[in-house]
Structure formats: structure tokens, C-alpha cells
Amino acid sequence: MKNVLFMFLFVVGVTSYGFGKNVRLHGSLKEFGTNVVSMDFDGAAGEISKEWSQKITVNKDGSFEFSFDLKKPGYYSVGRNTLYLTPGDDMEVNLGTSQPQSWFKGQGADVNTYLKGRLFPKAGSFLEAGRNVKGSFEETKKYIDDRAAQREKELKALPNASKEFVELEMMRIKADVANSYMAYLWYSDLLKDCKTREEGEKIANEFNKSIREYINPLLKEISAKDKYLEVAVVRDVLLSCYDMDASIFDFPKSQRLTELNDAYVTGERMDEEMTKSLYDELYAFGSKLKNADFKQAFLGRLEKRAKLMEGRPAIDFVVVNMDGKKGKLSDYKGKVLFVDFWATWCMPCLGEMPYFNELSKQFPNIQFVGISLDDNTEVWLNKLKGDADHGKVLELFSTDPLVRTGWDITGIPRFLLIDKDFNIISASAPRPSEKDVIVPLLEKYNKK
């Protein structure tokens, strides 16, 4: 098996601190069904960009062996798995596309087995996409508190866990609790009768005021130390509350948290069409960041995004068609390509699909390409077989890491326009539903 050795060039790596100790992971990544799997740094700077993503080469039988030099412990993500790696870790791992499938053996296994129980902030943490919402907030709060107490008990009983890990994971529990309380608004029936945005905002404001006595103490705890920002859900909660009225949710905002918020918000502008003036503006902002890791992450992402300017060569990647045949996106050059990155779990993506399919019938000189970013082909194919009309869309599937890293995809749906010579027209094309913008653009290239 091949060893893939990478040198970290970030704040915990060799440039700032010298050499650390080797971390070795080996085992199986078969469930991912691809020959390259991405491992992302999941600390605070990872919120700004995937600057330090590493590629793990997977053998044909799904096995792998991967090692790198690490100076200090940190969080990493592989698919939906969250790992906590410490210098000197040596683990046999079986990583699935969802956490419950995974298992760990060897040095570092105990804490990573515990992390299999990590909750998902975007699913409302303990509410688990609404499945655990009870009849009232009080009943739901009791359920959340009971689950959190159980998780805390498991954490304190964990063998071979450092004080640092226990401290960080305790903040994860507290942030999950806060996230769960706030998410009750969206998963309950509180907003069901709202007919206007104003009505919804009024109810949301009243609800947030009603829970501030529970939320504010938690916010103060999870914002007390900058190192807590290394925990993803802590960042999620603090950033979501950052601009809220201080009379509702109030907590101290450190310089590092403030700069993270500014870099995150400003970084969203990289999803716009990259022009020279926008590049210069964002470069000036990034150059002034005080936190070295944030500065490197922001400017690194900006340089990658600059490669997606109009006229640059399009980033190529591996795709699979509905018959299971592998190829490259560039195999379809010769026509202008209008590309839709989507997934079956993405509701905004599904909302755009009818518009995309309909437009494909109107512009025969443009090849419409739908590319699913689902974890496996089964859910993708089931979705397509269940739809009556795909128009003239070429449906493809990809798990190639170059899709996300090369095209700087931080969210979907995302649309591209690529010319017949496989050069970029637009790396952030208008959505199909934006007919007043996209139709004139398609009309222009349909003539060529």
C-alpha cells in the first residue's frame, strides 16, 4: 500500500512550531466508493476555507494507509465523521459515510469512538431534525437536558482522554444544548400559522426572549476561551448569535471571534463572480487579518477562487453516468455546458430542478449537465427514476474531491457555465429560477 505523506503548512504545523509527532491511520474507506477521500481540518480556521484539506489515497479493495506530522491535537473531518487526532496516534479505522458505521482500534480509539455520538448542528443537535420535539418547549427542554446529562456522563467516564479533550467536548455539549433550545422554534408548530415574514420575525423574537435565561449562561461559557472555537458547533452557535440584539442574547466577543465572524461574512463574497476589482478588495481585507491562521486560510481560499475567473481553464473531475461508466466532465466539451451541482438531500437544489429541466428543452445548443454530489449512487438513481421528466439534462454523479476543492464549493445548489473549449464563462452562474438573468445569458451562448 502507498503511504501518502503531507506536510501541514498551518498554525499547528511545521512552519510555525517545528516538527511534531507522526500520526498514522490505516484500515478501510471502502464505504466511500472512491479512490481518493478528503480529510479536512475542522478547527476555527477551517470555517474560513478548506485550505488544509488532505487527500487520502484509497486502494482498489478499499484499504488505505495514511500518515502525517502533527504538532498538537485537533479536529478533522472525513465525510460525516469527526476525528480528534493527537500527535502519536496510531489507529486502525473503518470509516463509513455516516458516523455509526465507523470503528476505531489502537492509540486514540477511545476518544474517536466517543465522537461517533457527535450530533449535527444543522439538524438541531439533540432535536435530530425534529424527531425529538415534544408537545411543548418545557417537555422538549427536559428531553434535551436529559440527553445532555447522559452525554456528559459518558464523557467523564471516558478512558484515555486528555483534560483538553474533555474540556472541549464539554463545551460541545453545552453548545449542542443551546443550539437545540434555539432550534425548537423551527421544528415546532410555532411558525406554522405565519402568513408574512413580519409575523414570523415577531414570533421568533418573542420566542428568543422567552429562552434567553437559558441561552445566555451557555453563550457566556462557550465564548469564555478562544480555544473553544475549535469545536464546530461552538462556532455555529456563536456566529449565528453574533449580530443578534444584545438585549436578547448577550455574550462577550473576543478579538478572535470578531475576526472569525468578519472573515466568514466577507468570505461569502467569494461565491460571487470573481472579478479583478473584487479580488483586489478581498485581498486587501485578508491582508489585514491579525490572526495568522485566519489570514492564511482567507488568502489561500482567495487564490484558489481566483483560478475560477472568466476565461480560465475549467477544473476537470471524474464523473459517472447512469450506466456506471466513468469519465471526465471534459469528455462533454464541444458545446457550452450549463452545470448544476445538486444532491437529493438539498431542498433548494430540488426546487431549482424543474426550472433547470425546462430550460434544457429551450436551448438545444447548450448541454445541460446535472451532477449529483450524494454519498452514493443508489439514492441518486432512485431519485432520477422517480422523476417523470428530466428534459434534455445529462445526469451524472461525482464523488471526486476536486469538485469541492477545485471549484471552491461551500454550498449547493451551485451553477457553472463552461464554454465549448472548456474554459470558464461563469463559476457562479445565475440560478435557473432567476429567469430574467439566466435566460438572456443562455440565449447569448445558444447562438454559438
Q: Is the pTM of this model over 0.85?
A: no
Q: Rounded to an integer, what distance in angstroms lies between the CA atom of residue 413 and that of residue 425?
A: 18
Asked whether residue 230 is assigned to any structural domain, the reply reads yes
What are the distances in angstroms from CA 45 to CA 231, 242, 279, 339?
Answer: 11, 17, 20, 30
In a domain, 321, yes or no: yes
Is residue 240 domain-shared with residue 335, that is, in the same domain? no
Return the bridge partners of 414, or none: 341
111 and 148 fall within a common domain:
no
> In angstroms, rounded to a whole number, what is the distance separating the alpha carbons of residues 52 and 32?
20
Whole-number pLDDT of residue 275: 86
Q: Range of 51's domain?
A: 22-116
- Residue 110 shares a structural domain with residue 173: no
Cα–Cα distance, 110 to 107 (Å, whole number):
8
Would residue 122 count as lying in a domain? no
Per the structure, how many domains does the chain have? 4
Predicted pLDDT at 16: 34
Q: Is residue 265 part of a domain?
A: no
The confidence score (pLDDT) of residue 20 equals: 54
**Domain match, 97 and 73 both:** yes
Side chain identity, residue 56: I
Considering the domain boundaries, does residue 282 fall inside one? yes
Residues 98 and 167 in one domain: no
What per-residue confidence (pLDDT) applies to 448?
61
Which contacts qualify for 327-334: CB closer than 8 Å, 24 or more apart? 329/369, 329/371, 329/396, 330/422, 332/367, 332/369, 332/394, 333/418, 333/420, 333/421, 333/422, 334/420
What's the pLDDT score for residue 100? 79
Give the C-alpha separation, 41 to 51, whole Å: 8
| C-alpha to C-alpha distance for 365 and 388, rounded to whole angstroms | 23
Regarding whether 332 and 302 lie in a shared domain, the answer is no
Q: How far apart are CA 9 and CA 18, in angstroms?
A: 11
Which residue positions in the chain have pLDDT lower than 50?
A: 1-19
What does the pLDDT read at residue 7? 30
Helix (H) or strand (E) holding 389: none
Q: Same domain, yes or no, for 295 and 327? A: no
328 lies in some domain: yes
